[in-house]
């Protein structure tokens, strides 16, 4: 079958499968089967079994379930309330005051959860009711959370960076370190926007609260020390070369259990629930990776990736033009697929193209994650928007409007990262 006919056919099969409610992993397998049957005489069952096994027996993936479990344990602890009460005294004097708690809280929780949806849900359950009760503008109270919740994809230990590293055979330790500075840069940009907005919209800000009493700052700092210590143990052990990402994940789980036990926040039942939730999430990701692995091989038989690469190569795009085109492509993809699916489905097609024009694959991983972050706050399939809809009960398009300024800041961050690649590459090279 001709590529010009087969390509559109496979796209139709994918969207029909998704519209029918088929799980993403199984939808990808269905597309792969159609591709194999239409374009190859190779034994489908043998190719399927070999590739699925190969996709799921990558050593780097062993850290994935442990980091997910660490996040699930902490979701069920008092971490979010401790962070809110710990950060509040330090933000009261800043323009925007408690709105910064969303940004800083999400940045801290992202560093121990690895999940964008978990970060948004955990911080949102605590901060949104508090901010609205104190009279903060709903657009900013919810919009800052929508934007900052995306940090869960970028700030290590990022689940999506683990998936990218496993799919591209890149160092997960270097990817983790590459995400730190861009994550801090995004947090600074979001906080800067909050300050500017609050200075220009003083009429929408509530009255200043009473000054903190003596000793409040010290007590707040003590509430933050456990989570900061856990972050330092996980990321510091990787940077120092003491532990691999898999070993650091075990350190993180042990630390999360100790914190939960010390605060009495998690029971044996809660621990069992966290293990079950982590197992469910890991299996979901495994199905997606298995389906994408099989589809990647099937696409190779069709010749579509080679044809697409030749077509783009014939256009002789500069690195910046190629990145601009990929940014638009991934934003559109993000309107219909979740972030992990986008990464595992497309990275094998586009990575050879970007490396051919001299783009570092570690840098491209960070670029890809930031672009995928945008998809978390774009309808109709914006997972952060779904989480916020459940928390606030507001319309998803209204929530997307609240998040729009932070979508714009993510675009600016991608531009800065493209012009100054050392933002992502400096720290890994000091490792």
Specify the DSSP class assigned to residue 61. Answer: G
Give the position of tokens 């990402």.
245
Encode the chain (431 residues) as per-residue pLDDT tens digits: 666 677 778 878 877 887 888 777 788 888 888 888 887 777 888 888 887 887 777 776 777 788 888 877 877 777 666 777 777 777 777 888 888 888 988 888 787 777 777 778 777 877 888 888 888 888 998 999 888 888 888 888 888 888 888 888 888 889 989 999 999 999 999 999 999 999 998 888 887 766 555 566 677 677 777 777 888 888 888 877 788 878 888 888 888 888 778 777 667 787 888 889 888 878 877 887 788 778 878 877 777 766 766 676 677 778 888 888 888 888 877 776 667 777 877 787 788 888 888 889 999 999 999 988 887 787 766 777 877 887 788 888 888 899 899 999 999 999 999 999 999 999 888 86
Tell me how far apart the alpha carbons of residues 181 and 175 are, in angstroms, rounded to a whole number.
11
Q: Do 144 and 107 meet the contact criterion of CB atoms below 8 Å apart?
A: no
What is the separation, in whole angstroms, between the first and last Cα of the chain? 49
What Rg, from alpha-carbon coordinates, does the chain have?
Answer: 22
Tell me how far apart the alpha carbons of residues 158 and 64 are, in angstroms, rounded to a whole number.
9
pLDDT value of residue 305: 66
Tell me how far apart the alpha carbons of residues 333 and 311 are, in angstroms, rounded to a whole number.
20
pLDDT value of residue 160: 86
**Is omega for the bond preceding 353 within 30 degrees of 0, making it cis?**
no
Helix (H) or strand (E) holding 349: helix 339-356
Tell me how far apart the alpha carbons of residues 395 and 414 are, in angstroms, rounded to a whole number.
28
What does pTM read for this prediction? 0.78
Tell me how far apart the alpha carbons of residues 412 and 397 are, in angstroms, rounded to a whole number.
22
Tell me how far apart the alpha carbons of residues 183 and 195 are, in angstroms, rounded to a whole number.
19
CA-angle at 397, arms to 187 and 388, nearest 5°: 55
pLDDT value of residue 104: 87
DSSP string, 49-110: HHHHHHHH--GGGGHHHHHHHHHHHHHTTTHHHHHHHHHHHHHTTSTTTTHHHHHHHHHHHH
Closest CA to 347 of 198, 166, 156: 166
Closest CA to 258 of 291, 283, 227, 217: 227
Q: Take residue 284 and report the two structure tokens written for it.
A: 């979901």
Tell me how far apart the alpha carbons of residues 253 and 258 are, in angstroms, rounded to a whole number.
9
pLDDT value of residue 380: 64
Closest CA to 377 of 179, 166, 147: 147
Q: Take residue 351 and report the two structure tokens written for it.
A: 């990575």
């Amino acid at each position: 079958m001709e590529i010009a006919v087969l390509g559109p056919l496979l796209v139709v099969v994918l969207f029909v499968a998704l519209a029918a409610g088929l799980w993403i992993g199984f939808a990808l397998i269905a597309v792969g089967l159609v591709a194999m049957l239409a374009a190859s005489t190779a034994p489908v069952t043998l190719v399927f079994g070999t590739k699925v096994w190969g996709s799921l027996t990558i050593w780097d993936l062993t850290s994935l379930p442990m980091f997910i479990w660490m996040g699930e344990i902490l979701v069920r602890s008092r971490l979010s309330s401790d962070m809110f009460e710990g950060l509040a005294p330090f933000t009261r004097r800043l323009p925007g005051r408690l709105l910064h708690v969303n940004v800083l809280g999400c940045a801290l929780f992202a560093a121990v959860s690895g999940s964008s949806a978990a970060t948004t849900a955990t911080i949102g359950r605590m901060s949104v009711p508090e901010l609205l009760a104190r009279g903060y503008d709903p657009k900013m109270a919810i919009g800052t959370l929508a934007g900052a919740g995306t940090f869960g994809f970028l700030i290590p230990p990022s689940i999506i960076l683990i998936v990218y590293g496993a799919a591209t055979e890149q160092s997960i330790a270097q990817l983790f370190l590459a995400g730190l500075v861009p994550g801090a840069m995004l947090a600074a940009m979001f906080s800067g926007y909050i300050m500017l907005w609050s200075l220009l919209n003083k009429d929408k800000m509530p009255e200043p609260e009473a000054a903190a009493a003596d000793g409040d700052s010290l007590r707040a700092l003590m509430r933050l020390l456990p989570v900061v210590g856990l972050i330092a143990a996980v990321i510091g052990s990787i940077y120092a070369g003491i532990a691999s990402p898999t070993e650091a994940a075990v350190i993180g789980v042990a630390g999360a259990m100790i914190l939960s036990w010390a605060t009495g926040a998690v029971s044996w039942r809660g621990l069992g629930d966290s293990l079950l939730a982590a197992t469910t999430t890991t299996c979901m990701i495994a199905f997606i990776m298995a389906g994408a692995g099989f589809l990647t091989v099937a696409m190779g038989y069709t010749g579509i990736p080679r044809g697409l690469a030749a077509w783009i190569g014939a256009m002789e795009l500069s690195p910046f033009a190629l990145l601009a085109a990929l940014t638009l492509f991934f934003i559109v993809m993000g309107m219909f697929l979740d972030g992990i699916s986008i990464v595992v489905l497309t990275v094998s097609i586009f990575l050879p193209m970007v490396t051919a024009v001299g783009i570092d694959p570690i840098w491209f991983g960070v670029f890809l994650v930031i672009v995928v972050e945008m998809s978390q706050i774009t309808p109709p399939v914006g997972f952060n928007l779904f989480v916020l809809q459940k928390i606030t009960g507001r319309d998803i398009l209204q929530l997307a409007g609240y998040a729009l300024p932070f979508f714009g800041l993510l675009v600016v961050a991608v531009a800065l990262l493209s012009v100054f690649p050392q933002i992502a590459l400096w720290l890994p090279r000091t490792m």
